[in-house]
Structure 1
Amino acid sequence: MRHAHIHLIIGALFATVLFAAPAQAAPVLCEKYGAAAIQNNRYIVQNNVWGASTAQCIDVNQNGGFTITQSAHNNATNGAPAAYPSIYAGCHYASCTTGSGLPMQASASGFGALRSSVSMTYPGSGTYNASYDLWFDPTPRTDGQNTGAELMIWLNRAGSIQPIGSQVGTVNLAGATWQVWFGNTGWNVISYVRTSPATSLDFSINTFYSDVVSRGYGQRSWYLTSVQAGFEPWIGGTGLAVNSFSFGSGGGTTDTSPPTTPGNPAASGTTATGTTLSWGASTDSGGSGLAGYDILRATGDTFTRVGSSTTTSYTDTGLSPATTYRYRIQARDGAGNLSPESGTVTVTTQQGGGGGSCAVTATTQNAWNNGYVIQPVTVTNRGTSALNGWAVTFPLPSGHTITGIWNASYTVSGGTVTVRNLGHNGGLGPNASTTFGFQATRPAGNTQVPSGYTCA
């Protein structure tokens, strides 16, 4: 069942109350939006009862955590949670902790060294999740709502609840297996749900964000603004506790060693519009672990990234018939280190044919003074045979910049945007549809949104 994960939107309405003056010593917080700074403002603990009027109190642990001592919540499990009591480092609605180094751009040299850890205790009853909330914004924002990506990491969940959106995959990260969920609420929400519950986690921030970027849900140009850990209770919640929490650069454990070079790729199953690649696995000895592979493609002299995989195979779709392509593979680890590129395989697609054709429609979901969200953009196969890939093109108005896209990949050339399917949504039977969406900025006062979409 879905829930509306919008606690920070509502929290913005109460930002003055919540963060006006966090106390340095407040052992018990019962105010809906009460907060306390601990360890000389290294972290801030927040009660944050944003989704209910029922009582909640938390006992702040000055050593780096808190315990929910009272929680009378009884929210419907098909709606929003009652609260997000949590501890955080960074900047949240103009309240910044000391010494976090945040906001930090995800392309910065120090980003790969960022780590966090948490230890939690769960009661025997209640409906809740135990989760991290990592926020990213296209700008180094210290106040207001982030509009890039919300990266959630669910260590545990109890009851009939699930993340925003729908499950889009499964991945092995940080020594565990996670379901990957994606939705959009005006910003991308990417949730990693551990398939077996855990009471603790110690991880590199980049381990999860690298996967977000590889799926097209985040950008390296975006900034990490805060790292939060806590709970979203729907029913009950008394006894939930963060026993300890840490965030920092990881000191001397920074991984600077790249993975080994992947084996040379081979191609199979080539059609007029697609081909399947396979290659030998890389290894990583730097400590952060192998995170996946980037697929590089060229039709001329320049190789560009066209997709990624967490396995040793990848199906590239949306290709042109009777065209020669060259491919290389590059491995990446959890710290963002890249291996040398593999050798090259050359593939020529078959001659085209068949009755496949596609149509596209686009909806403006939200627009504001200097930006907008287009969602859904629906691609439909109007032909009589299956499509094995599609590409949508449209002109981007002058001064506009795409800041994020989901369920697709894209390139921009000369003011024209070309959007292509990912591996999971390129095959469309007759009358079948799929969707994608994107977010963009525009000059202040400019009211244009893209038009003139075409599909091939």
Structure 2
Amino acid sequence: MRTPQPQVRTLRGLLSALIATLASFAAVASLITAAAPAQADTTICEPFGTTTIQGRYVVQNNRWGSSATQCITSTDSGFRVTQADGSVPTNGAPKSYPSVFNGCHYTTCSPGTSLPARLNTVSSAPSSISYGFAGDAVYNASYDIWLDPTPRTDGVNQTEIMIWFNRVGPIQPIGSPVGTATVGGRTWEVWSGSNGSNDVLSFVAPSAISSWSFDVMDFVRATVARGLAENDWYLTSVQAGFEPWQNGAGLAVNSFSSTVQTGTGPGPDPDPGEPGEAEACEVSYGTNVWQNGFTADVTVTNTGTAPVDGWRLAFTLPSGQRITNAWNASVAPSAGAVTATGVAHNARIAPGGSLSFGFQGAHGGTFAEPDGFRLNDAACTTA
């Protein structure tokens, strides 16, 4: 009865060795998996090639005015121009419009978009941008906003709104200057004309704007006020990128966001000159600044009568600023258009209540504060 014992011990030993071997293979596989590189950014050189980022925006190469090679590389939050050969005369059309968009453009629609949307059903269309400029190119950095009498998702729309954030070189918008206007709290040179297939209204910044958060509907209403669109027309796409005439490698959209709020619009015939109503909130932004560094203490007050659950505060850090750490909120990404969200203990702001969070960051050059804040995609006043 004792003789089987060595055999049992032998089988147990073999089983233990087998388990150890399998564990070793699992450990190696785990190391291989952990060491595998993240998915690479997508590079597009096809003239009209596209890709999707964040599961909600389309990045397009959109090289239509030149046969020279142009390549762009998408990133998690935008894109950069990696090759931009050739040049075209500066008194004519640009080479291309590499860009990122929400909506529909020439039969390509971004995933989950609410566009086209009828203008009198849109309460606000918040967007934010952070640009990276290149020093040896002739270009504009611009938004392209398209309006049409029908909810079309293909071809050319009837009215094009351009917002020039920056222009470098002897270039100008389509048409001729027709004065100035204050839109979104900024003063713009206004140009009006036609390119033969659609009307174009351009708002040109007198000096470069590298980042901004604003309501696209402010520009749409200004366009309606000038008779270039009607309130029962449709917003079909919101695009941001560059029009290069010469070179262009190094230009980048560091971050982009676009949201369209529908269903609670201002009615069938809103006053086109008035911006959308602000959210019942107020933001105080206090800073302590030193050479190459700063801290920001942000207080968000709910001045309304209903609680704000799952709050998100969006704002754009001026160029050269980067967040290194934050407290009492999660803030991401670290630069450009960022969003602060509540954590477990402060995810709700009660009516009449307020909460505070803060962050530390680095900066270069002249320090500036964000231009504005949006609480859950609606504008706040600032204290």
Is contact 2:143-2:240 (8 Å) kept? yes
Deviations 1:36-65 (A, max 9, x none): 11222x11100111000111111111x221
Task: Indicate whether 1:144 and 2:163 are aligned.
Answer: no
Instruction: Pick the aligned partner of 1:165 from 162, 175, 199.
Output: 175
Q: Which residue of 1 aligns with 2:95?
A: 82
**Over 3 Å off, 4+ runs:** none
Deviation at 1:233, TM superposition (A): 0.3
User: Matched residue of 1:211: which SS?
Assistant: helix
Q: Which residue of 1 aligns with 2:104?
A: 91
User: Matched residue of 2:120: which SS?
Assistant: coil
Deviations 1:365-406 (A, max 9, x none): xxxxxxxxxxxxxxxxxxxxxxxxxxxxxxxxxxxxxxxxxx
Unaligned runs of 5+ in 1: 1-23, 257-303, 306-329, 338-456
Deviations 1:136-175 (A, max 9, x none): 110010112212x100000000000000000111011223
Distance 1:71 1:331 in 2: 39
Equivalent residues in 2 for 1:346-365, closer than 5 Å: none
Equivalent residues in 2 for 1:42-61, closer than 5 Å: 42-61=56-75
Distance 1:91 1:336 in 2: 27
Higher RCO (CA-CA < 8 Å; seq separation 6+): 2
Deviation at 1:134, TM superposition (A): 0.5
1:54 maps to a residue whose letter is A
Instruction: Pick the aligned partner of 2:257 from 210, 229, 246.
Output: 246
2:88 maps to a residue whose letter is N
Distance 1:332 1:153 in 2: 17
Is contact 1:112-1:205 (8 Å) kept? no
Deviations 1:187-219 (A, max 9, x none): 210000011111012111111111111111111
Deviations 1:303-346 (A, max 9, x none): x99xxxxxxxxxxxxxxxxxxxxxxxx89521179xxxxxxxxx
Distance 1:74 1:208 in 2: 31
Q: Which residue of 2 aligns with 1:105?
A: 118
Q: Percent identical across equivalent pairs?
A: 48
Unaligned runs of 5+ in 2: 1-38, 279-383
Alpha-carbon spacing, 1:255–1:33, altered in 2? closer, same or farther (3 Å): closer
Structure 1-normalised TM-score? 0.49
1:74 maps to a residue whose letter is S
Deviations 1:104-130 (A, max 9, x none): 01111xx12211111001011210000
Q: Which residue of 2 aligns with 1:218?
A: 229
Q: Which residue of 2 aligns with 1:155?
A: 165
Is contact 1:180-1:192 (8 Å) kept? yes
Instruction: Pick the aligned partner of 1:35 from 47, 50, 75.
Output: 50
Alpha-carbon spacing, 1:198–1:34, altered in 2? closer, same or farther (3 Å): same
1:188 maps to a residue whose letter is D
Count the aligned residue pairs. Answer: 237
Distance 2:199 2:119 in 1: 16
Equivalent residues in 2 for 1:112-151, closer than 5 Å: 112-147=123-158, 149-151=159-161
Q: Which residue of 2 aligns with 1:181?
A: 191
Equivalent residues in 2 for 1:290-305, closer than 5 Å: none
Distance 2:188 2:53 in 1: 32
Is contact 2:114-2:260 (8 Å) kept? no
Structure 2-normalised TM-score? 0.58
Distance 1:64 1:58 in 2: 13
Instruction: Pick the aligned partner of 1:65 from 72, 75, 78.
Output: 78
User: Matched residue of 1:87: which SS?
Assistant: strand
Deviations 1:75-106 (A, max 9, x none): 11011111100000101111111222100011
1:69 maps to a residue whose letter is T
RMSD, aligned α-carbons: 2.6
Distance 1:37 1:26 in 2: 11
